[in-house]
């Protein structure tokens, strides 16, 4: 696991030493992603430079140092991630002949040899892993950027004047003198809706995230052409192929095959030259990952759990029971609300662009706990998106089944009336005993759901924290997967299509961002066994009855887990990895929220209703009844992230932050 960055001088007017200085300064902004060593490489004639920070996981010797040159010296790579099947690829290359003696035993060296033998895209199709990288092709004189199939590893890129910049972290791009920190209003609107920023957008105008499963080739002579990443693994094509070729075995055969696939994935992901452990919440997914780790380990697996003493938010005792049954070496840490809230000031530094999934707090805490014992931790993420674990799917199936029977014109009229009730205040329009469950945010969501034209539109409303972010920030939203029908699958049931949408957006842009940034903030590598693409494609091929049974999702995962852990230890209602953010905002964090909303309004970032104190500044009182707790948390995080920029903002002539 590493952090990398690079720059391409399109004018080719920068000397080698200056190029190396740029690359080194960009890489050094990511010390947390690679504390073990650093390296730079530059080609003055081509105007390209790479910088690298290394967290050594495989081949701890200098032979694993990066940037690395391929055996025939055609390619130079700066690589972040792991190729789990690199030993199989290495054997295949050796059988094919023509490979020079290996310098070391790193997966990066094997990947470079594969590129020289099969080409980049064919090699990536053969690879199993998580990764992002920059590659300079000396023969074609082009820059190649690529990202893994599910989007576990980050990669940002974009044009900055006469430079093309890329890297694992926005902080690295900001370190280059040509970078312009112009914020994107359309991205702000997306953030206000989702509390995260979906790819390909970033918070900065002209800077993008590479979509998962794609390769982008940059020809310095044609840089003005629009960026057009190309899929080497198209999720929609693979999803539709899986539906056309469904699994036709019995239920027990499906459990057996999942056992085989997951064991193989976990065995490959336990390979490292440093200590390896796992996060354990005691839920279905993490318990299954740990169970299969322990089944393939000759010594107790290290497991880690964070506990909270607040009622309704502690699941550490469940994790402890599972750990005791499996015989792991378990470490748990109970934290107080004050200790948990101490993470909050560091969130902008950890995430480098606005991000407001409140479970980022316990994720940061458990990552810090794990890093004090291990360098690699496996997690159980992706079970919900692949095996129908979220309750939203069942809600949408029932809801759309009802709404689709009502003429659209009547639904639109009902939505109009509900919005009117929500925006005119509830005290005089809604019975007193209903105001708790029918507050303004819920009524706005119900109005949007009622008037939705398609189930995908309804799903977008269901997962949104505000229904009309333009009213808050004055900017139209950028496009996302949820608003791009050409990217939607044309086959499958409603629930299957919704799971696909979550796999393509919520998983990579929220869940995986949350885990990667929290873990890399303490130099911990995380691995996600369920995202082995062979497991993903198998899950997509399963009939719905193998995912949902008796109203409960993740049926096949449960069946497999019960082979290793007694049912009574893991069967309970799903809670998620949550903190009581609403309770905190109403108490300890109330002053922070008040300052955030006041400043955001005063500097023209958002528009919220509020009275005036007589001196031109809005009163520091948030209209909390009109905002969901998630949106309130998002606004606090936006304010924290903007930080110094807000303090430097000119207020002359109501100048806006976003242009």
Query: What CATH code is carried by the domain that includes residue 374?
Result: 3.40.50.620
Domain end, chosen from 570, 590, 609, is at: 570
Cα–Cα dist 280/239, whole Å = 30
- The domain of 85 spans 2-233
The mean pLDDT value for 350-363 works out to 95
Q: Does residue 374 sit in the same domain as residue 404?
A: no
Domain end, chosen from 544, 570, 596, is at: 570
Q: Does residue 10 sit in the same domain as residue 151?
A: yes
Lowest mean pLDDT among 207-211, 494-498, 639-643: 639-643
Q: Does residue 27 sit in the same domain as residue 129?
A: yes
Note the pLDDT of residue 616.
Answer: 41
Note the pLDDT of residue 576.
Answer: 62
The mean pLDDT value for 618-643 works out to 79
Residue 495 is assigned to a structural domain of this protein:
no
Contact 38, 54 (CB under 8 A): yes
C-alpha closest to that of 22 among 42, 38, 1, 3: 42
Note the pLDDT of residue 310.
Answer: 74
Note the pLDDT of residue 451.
Answer: 94
User: Which CATH number fits the domain that encloses residue 80?
Assistant: 3.60.20.10
Note the pLDDT of residue 659.
Answer: 36
Asked if the model's pLDDT at residue 612 lies above 60, the reply is: no
Asked if the model's pLDDT at residue 467 lies above 60, the reply is: yes
Asked if the model's pLDDT at residue 408 lies above 60, the reply is: yes
Residue environment code for 311-334, b if the CB has 16+ CB neighbours within 10 A, otherwise e: eebebbebbbbbbebbebebbbee
Residue 543 is assigned to a structural domain of this protein:
yes
Note the pLDDT of residue 270.
Answer: 97
Q: In this structure, what DSSP letter does residue 204 have?
A: B
Q: Does residue 461 sit in the same domain as residue 538?
A: no
Q: Does residue 98 sit in the same domain as residue 80?
A: yes
Identify each DSSP E strand in 96-212 by its residue range. 129-137, 142-147, 156-160, 163-167, 207-209
The mean pLDDT value for 59-74 works out to 90
The mean pLDDT value for 33-50 works out to 96
Question: Quick count: other Cβ atoms within 10 Å of Cβ 595?
Answer: 13
Note the pLDDT of residue 621.
Answer: 44
Q: Does residue 181 sit in the same domain as residue 270?
A: no
CA atoms within 13 A on the CB side of 83: 25
Q: For the whole model, what pTM was predicted?
A: 0.94
Q: In this structure, what DSSP letter does residue 10 have?
A: T
| pLDDT over 90, % of the chain | 78
Per-residue confidence band for 657, with pLDDT thresholds at 50, 70 and 90: very low
The mean pLDDT value for 127-139 works out to 98
Domain count, the chain: 4
What is each CA distance from 235 to 232, 509, 554, in whole angstroms? 10, 15, 21
The mean pLDDT value for 307-336 works out to 89
Residue 576 is assigned to a structural domain of this protein:
no
Residue 215 is assigned to a structural domain of this protein:
yes
Residue 257 is assigned to a structural domain of this protein:
yes
Asked if the model's pLDDT at residue 532 lies above 60, the reply is: yes
Asked if the model's pLDDT at residue 99 lies above 70, the reply is: no
> Which two structure tokens, joined as six digits, stand for 180?
């312009």
Note the pLDDT of residue 62.
Answer: 84
Q: Does residue 206 sit in the same domain as residue 279?
A: no
Residue 106 is assigned to a structural domain of this protein:
yes
Note the pLDDT of residue 644.
Answer: 54
Note the pLDDT of residue 577.
Answer: 67
Per-residue confidence band for 611, with pLDDT thresholds at 50, 70 and 90: very low
Note the pLDDT of residue 338.
Answer: 87
Give tens-digit pLDDT for 206-245: 999 999 999 999 999 888 778 999 999 999 999 999 999 9
The mean pLDDT value for 480-501 works out to 97
């Amino acid at each position: 696991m590493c952090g990398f960055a690079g720059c391409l001088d399109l004018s080719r007017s920068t000397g080698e030493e200056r190029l190396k200085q740029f690359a080194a300064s960009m890489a050094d902004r990511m010390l947390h992603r690679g504390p073990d060593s650093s390296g730079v490489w530059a080609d003055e004639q081509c105007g390209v430079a790479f910088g690298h920070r290394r967290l050594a996981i495989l081949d701890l010797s200098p032979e694993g140092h990066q940037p690395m040159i391929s055996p025939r010296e055609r390619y130079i790579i700066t690589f972040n991630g792991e190729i789990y099947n690199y030993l199989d690829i290495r054997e295949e290359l050796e059988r094919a002949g023509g490979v020079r003696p290996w310098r070391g035993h790193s997966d990066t060296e094997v990947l470079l040899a594969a590129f020289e033998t099969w080409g980049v895209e064919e090699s990536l199709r053969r690879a199993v892993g998580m990764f992002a990288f920059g590659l300079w092709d000396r023969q074609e004189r082009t820059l190649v950027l690529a990202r893994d199939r599910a989007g576990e590893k980050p990669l940002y890129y974009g044009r900055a004047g006469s430079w093309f910049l890329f890297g694992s972290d926005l902080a690295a791009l900001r370190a280059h003198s040509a970078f312009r920190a112009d914020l994107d209003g359309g991205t702000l609107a997306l953030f206000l809706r989702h509390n995260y920023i979906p790819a390909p957008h970033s918070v900065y105008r002209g800077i993008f995230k590479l979509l998962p499963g794609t390769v982008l080739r940059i020809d310095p002579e044609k840089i003005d052409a629009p960026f057009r990443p190309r899929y080497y693994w198209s999720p929609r094509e693979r999803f539709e192929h899986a539906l056309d070729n469904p699994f036709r075995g019995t239920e027990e055969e499906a459990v057996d095959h999942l056992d085989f696939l997951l064991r193989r994935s976990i065995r490959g992901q336990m390979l490292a030259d440093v200590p390896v452990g796992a996060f354990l919440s005691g839920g279905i997914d993490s318990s299954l990952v740990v169970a299969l780790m322990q089944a393939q380990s000759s010594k107790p697996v290290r497991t880690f759990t964070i506990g909270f003493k607040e009622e309704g938010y502690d699941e550490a005792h469940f994790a402890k029971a599972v750990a005791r049954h499996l015989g792991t070496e378990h470490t748990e840490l109970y934290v107080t609300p004050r200790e948990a809230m101490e993470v909050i000031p560091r969130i902008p530094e950890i995430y480098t662009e606005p991000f407001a999934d409140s479970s980022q707090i316990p994720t940061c805490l458990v990552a810090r706990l794990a890093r004090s014992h291990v360098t690699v931790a496996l997690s159980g993420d992706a079970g919900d998106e692949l095996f129908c674990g979220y309750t939203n799917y069942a809600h949408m199936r029932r809801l759309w089944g009802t709404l689709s029977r009502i003429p659209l014109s009547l639904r639109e009229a009902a939505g109009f009336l509900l919005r009117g009730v929500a925006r005119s205040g509830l005290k005089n329009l809604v019975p007193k005993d209903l105001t708790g469950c029918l507050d303004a945010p819920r009524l706005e969501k119900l109005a949007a759901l009622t008037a939705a034209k398609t189930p995908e539109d309804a799903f977008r409303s269901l997962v949104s924290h505000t229904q009309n972010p333009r009213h808050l920030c004055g900017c139209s939203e950028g496009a996302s997967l949820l608003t791009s029908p050409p990217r939607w699958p044309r086959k499958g049931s409603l629930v299957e299509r919704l799971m696909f949408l979550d796999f393509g957006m919520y998983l990579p842009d929220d869940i995986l961002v949350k885990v990667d940034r929290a873990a890399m903030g303490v130099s911990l590598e995380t691995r996600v066994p369920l995202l082995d693409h062979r497991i993903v494609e198998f899950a997509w091929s399963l009939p719905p009855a193998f995912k949902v049974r008796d109203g409960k999702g993740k049926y096949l995962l449960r069946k497999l887990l019960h082979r290793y852990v007694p049912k009574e230890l893991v069967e309970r209602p799903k809670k998620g990895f949550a903190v009581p953010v609403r309770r905190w905002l109403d108490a300890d964090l109330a002053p922070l929220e008040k300052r955030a909303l006041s400043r955001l309004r005063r500097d023209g970032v958002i528009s919220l209703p509020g009275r005036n104190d007589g001196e031109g500044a809005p009163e520091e009182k948030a209209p909390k009844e009109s905002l969901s707790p998630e949106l309130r948390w998002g606004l606090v995080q936006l304010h924290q992230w903007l930080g110094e920029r807000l303090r430097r903002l000119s207020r002359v002539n109501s100048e806006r932050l976003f242009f």
